[in-house]
Chain A
Amino acid sequence: MKVIILLFSLVAFSGVIFAETAEEKGLAIAIEADKRDQGWGDQATTSKMILRNSQGATSTREIRGKALEVKGDGDKSLTIFNTPRDVKGTAFLSFTHTLKADEQWLYLPALKRVKRISSSNKSGPFMGSEFAYEDISSQEVAKYKYKFIKDDKFNGRDVFVMERYPQYKKSGYTKQVAWIDKEMYQPLKIEFYDRKKSLLKTLTQHDYKQYQNKFWRPGRLEMVNHQTGKSTTLLWKSYKFNNGFKSRDFDRNSLKRAR
């Protein structure tokens, strides 16, 4: 009897190890990626977006960002626009949450008005670019369901190819296919499929650098919209860690004087 139980539990145990499903493997990769990116605390960034329409005409936006890591929930972030000049000083405060609705406020400097805005617009374009709000908000494990597809090579690097399915409301995507670098646990490429399940956009992330001997950050992102022919380059000009930010730097008072 004891032997049978032992045998049975051994079989069950080994089943967990060896018969890991594609979903479990996908989730394990996402958890590992999240774990490796924990503990960054806060960061300050400067970036530049170059928007290109289908005729190739460009327009640019210069953006500064501050972010604060929040353990067990989405991060807090403050985004300040330097150009185009007519929106200079406009600032955007966001408290992201894993599954419940994000909290967002916009500061309009001409009116000195702080406006609470709806966060339902996840699939809407960020500053007229090809990046949707959901593409640039903090990536939490619980936001997706995952499925491992295969091991592969991408630009000569070993990658996991996996699919992820947004679980939060109002996503513009039914599916994303991600090429995750096995050394950095960071995406090198993501394909976005729209609500009709057709390929909408492709994002590639370039020029990764490691900060604090731990955190990998890309220097350049290229987003191409296959349906409109438009594209956006996002250049991360600087990353700065250990700024000593507190939640006080991410409230409506700090939003009013962000500029």
Chain B
Amino acid sequence: MKIFLITALLACSGSLSANEWSGNMALEYRQFSYDALSSSQFKQYGSVAIQPEWFHRWEGGKQSLTFVAFTRWDEHDEERTHSDIRELSWLKVFDKSELRVGLRKVFWGVSESQHLVDIINQTDLVENMDGEEKLGQPMINYALINDWGTLDLFILPYFRERTFPGVNGRLRSEFYVDTSNPIYESADKENHVDYAVRWTHNIGDWDIGLSHFNGTSRDPSFIAGLDSSGNPVLIPVYNLMQQTGLDLQATKDAWLWKMEVINRQIKGSGYNAATAGFEYTFYGVFESASDLGLVMEYLYDDRNEAATTPFEDDLMLGLRWTNNDEQDTSLLVGVIADVDDESRLYSLEASRRLGESWKLNLEARLFSGLNNTTTSNQTIYALRKADFVQLELNYYF
């Protein structure tokens, strides 16, 4: 009887990845070039992270449950030592719609240098300053799927605060961000219910997305304050906002033409921001199987110097090399240059699989010309001594 049960269970799990565990562990080391601006900071940072994932599906894949947990321990930065539930969600697929309930991550947009349209999830900034790591967002998402495109409706019942490096962390502003007492415009604070709607469609070579968001801004502004020990700090302010976004991509042979535009209404005034550019790929370069991609994007924000982002009139240039070998070796180098001053952000990302289950990632960021930056933005000025190299060894299970 027991044997029968086990066989039945095995048969069941074999049929459609029921009860499946996977995930990865990462060992990370960061080396900064310069001594820190503050005595509470360090030059080397070691860190360990783990991200286990559980997945279960039934009804022939029409229903599934996903659970992704994340936790990191950092040698020095107590704010970077943190945990999050990246995903805990239920999916139900219908003929012409899909329902998702729970904590999830959603990505919107097409561009590479910055993600203006992408608005649903809060950025897990302590993870990576590129802003691509996100916190799990509680939501009800109902997608209506028709010939005229997909219409996604979102109810977002809870707000997640952005994470920031702590007193002992690098890559932060001169005064660290005190996340213990954020200020909200809404009286409901983090319980304010946000709404979003997005329509996506594809017509031939064109992929189009149109979105609107109504709720608490994921990007805080800051006011000066004091922490509980009387040290000067920055206190994040989360205002209510409306954002309308458009993202477009035209795929013409080896050319990808991309554009993202947003209009944001916040605190009684509005502004527009945009990213536009292209990616062109040369296939099979140097008599080999490798590809070389050229990325160019222009970043604009009509608030100019008053923008809360450093990218208000900037040009991004990138080179993506994909070796197409068994070990998936790839390299991405880029620079974001301010058109009006000398400030430059250089970045390098390289990766290679080792064997079947290991992967090595190398990341480097260099900042130059920030001393004379015309941008009054503190965040970028504070990065003038923040050059670093990061090595990460990942194990996948």
Chain A interface residues (CB < 8 Å from chain B): 51, 53, 59-60, 83-88, 101, 103, 111-121, 123-125, 128-129, 169-170, 172, 248, 251-253, 257, 259
A124 close to B98 (CB less than 8 A): no
Q: Determine whether the beta carbon of A128 is less than 8 Å from that of B327.
A: yes
B392 within 8 A of A: no
Residues from chain A with Cβ under 8 Å of B281 in the complex: 118, 120-121
Residue from B105, B145, B205 in contact with A253 in the complex, judged by beta carbons closer than 8 Å: B145
Q: A88-B396, A252-B200 are in contact. Are A120 and B328 (CB under 8 A)?
A: no
Task: With both chains docked as a complex, state the minimum distance between the C-beta of A104 and any C-beta of chain B, in angstroms.
Answer: 9
Q: Is the interface of A mostly helix, strand, loop or mixed?
A: loop
By the criterion CB–CB under 8 Å, are B207 and A116 in contact?
A: yes
Q: Identify which of B228-236, B251-259, B311-319 touches chain A.
A: B251-259
**12 additional contacts (CB under 8 A) given A113-B107, A121-B291:** A84-B353, A84-B396, A86-B353, A103-B251, A111-B107, A118-B254, A118-B281, A172-B284, A257-B61, A257-B64, A257-B93, A259-B55
Question: Residue B202 contacts which of A88, A112, A125, A252 (CB distance < 8 angstroms)?
Answer: A252
> What residue of chain A has the Cβ atom nearest to residue B356's Cβ?
A84
A120 B254 Cβ-Cβ under 8 A: yes
Chain B, range 322-346, C-beta contacts under 8 Å to A: 324-328
Complex-state Cα separation, A175 to B356, whole angstroms:
35
Is the pair B359, A86 in contact by a Cβ cutoff of 8 Å? yes
* Contact, CB under 8 Å: A53 / B55: no
Bound CA–CA A141/B98 (angstroms): 37
User: Please, which residues of chain B bring their CB within 8 A of the CB of A87?
Assistant: 328
* B: interface residue count bin: 35 or more
- The 4 A-B residue pairs with the shortest CB-CB distance in the complex, in nearest-first order: A85-B396, A113-B107, A128-B326, A120-B254
Among candidates B107, B251, B328, B355, residue contacting A118 with C-beta atoms closer than 8 Å = B251
0/1 string, B40-68, CB within 8 A of A gives 1:
00000000000000010000010010000
Residues of A within 8 A of B256 (CB): 116-118
> Are A124 and B107 interface neighbours, CB within 8 A?
no
Q: Which residue of B lies closest to A251 (CB)?
A: B145
A252: chain B residues within 8 A (beta carbon): 150, 200, 202
> Quick one: CB contact mask for B350-378 with A, threshold 8 Å, 1 for yes?
00010111010000000000000000000
13 pairs, A vs B, C-beta closer than 8 Å:
A84-B396, A85-B22, A85-B357, A86-B353, A86-B396, A112-B107, A116-B202, A120-B281, A123-B284, A124-B291, A251-B150, A252-B202, A257-B61
